[in-house]
Amino acid sequence: MTKQMLDKQPREVSSKKTKSKSLPPAIQVESLSKSFGEQTVLKRISLEITQGETLAVLGRSGTGKSVLLKLIIGLHKPDAGSIRVNGAEVTNLPPKELNEVRKKVGFLFQQAALYDSLTVEENVAFPLRRHSKMSDGERNKRVHDLLASVGMDQDAHKLPAQLSGGMQKRVGLARALALDPEILLFDEPTAGLDPITAAETDDLILRLQKERHLASVVVTHDIHGARAVSDRLALLRDGEILIEGTFEDLRKSRDPFVVQFLNGS
């Protein structure tokens, strides 16, 4: 990837929003640290994402990007620091209250993490079956609408093993949207996809952001995709945020790592 290539607009980014600091933060991370054994993954990370804003978190493999997402949703406990999601401090919430926060957050996992013993429609219906009082008919309609919104309604009766990687991610996205979340977390949404499917996935994310005005965090290696779907970008190195700002801010940086990351060499 060359700088010239990055200079080109990768695709239309019409839905890009300007950062609106007047809104209360949907996610507020302060001085967050996390280690696994001897290995320190995140060091005093601080971030803020307002409603309707999308932050892309970039960095090399193993820099703690996915761990950051799992910390935000309370799947891991931090060693130090604070994480507020819609104002609730998730680091010390009791399980019941934590689950209430989780219902407002959709999570698209790197490998989609679809339940492999359930069909596509059962996967999407899974959170609805547990957290909504919908009748069977209402639930079926909601599942069908969600699958249609990601272009997967023709495959409702298939098992995850019968789907391609891109299709699995679309179903994972439908499942993440099932409870009408206010926040979406994307863990490598385009990893392992061919460029055309990756572009389609980015377009889908953009469309959803435009329609639903969600706060999103997108963890990715894909600089093109990050630029297309995000308002701001944060680049992680050695567990710390090296630089945070718009794509233009990153491009103006003279830090050798930033330059190398953007140029790919």
Partner 1 sequence: MANSATSINRTGSLSATGDVVVKFFEWFGNLGIFCAQWVRTAFTPPYELREFVHQFDELGSKSLPLVALAGAATGIVITLSTRDSLIRFGAKSLLPAVVVFSILKESGPIITALVVSGRAAAGIGAELGAMKVTEQIDAMEASAVNPYKFLVTTRVLACMLMLPLLTLVSDFFGILMGWIASTAAEPISLRLFIHNGFKDVTFHDFLPPTLKTIVFGLLIGMISCFQGMRASGGTEGVERAATNSVVLASLFIILADVLLVRLILVFFS
Which residues of the shown chain bind partner 1 in the complex (CB under 8 A)? 70, 73, 75, 95, 99-100, 102-103, 105, 107, 109-111, 113-117, 126-127, 130-131, 175, 179
User: Minimum distance from CB of 157 to partner 1 (Å)?
Assistant: 18
Cα 239 to its chain centre, rounded Å, is 18
Cα 65 to its chain centre, rounded Å, is 10
Q: Given the complex with partner 1, which of 177 and 223 has the nearer CB atom?
A: 177
CA 229 – CA 202 distance, rounded (Å)? 6
Name, in order, each residue with C-beta under 8 angstroms of 174's C-beta and a sequence gap of 6 or more: 124, 143, 146, 147, 149, 150, 152
CA 207 – CA 22 distance, rounded (Å)? 24
User: Minimum distance from CB of 213 to partner 1 (Å)?
Assistant: 21
Q: Given the complex with partner 1, which of 65 and 227 has the nearer CB atom?
A: 65
Q: Given the complex with partner 1, which of 118 and 241 has the nearer CB atom?
A: 118
Q: Given the complex with partner 1, which of 96 and 254 has the nearer CB atom?
A: 96
Quote the longest CA-to-CA distance of the chain.
58
User: Minimum distance from CB of 17 to partner 1 (Å)?
Assistant: 25
User: Minimum distance from CB of 259 to partner 1 (Å)?
Assistant: 33
Residue 157's Cβ-count burial label (10 Å; 0-12, 13-18, 19+) is exposed
Q: Given the complex with partner 1, which of 46 and 99 has the nearer CB atom?
A: 99
User: Minimum distance from CB of 14 to partner 1 (Å)?
Assistant: 30
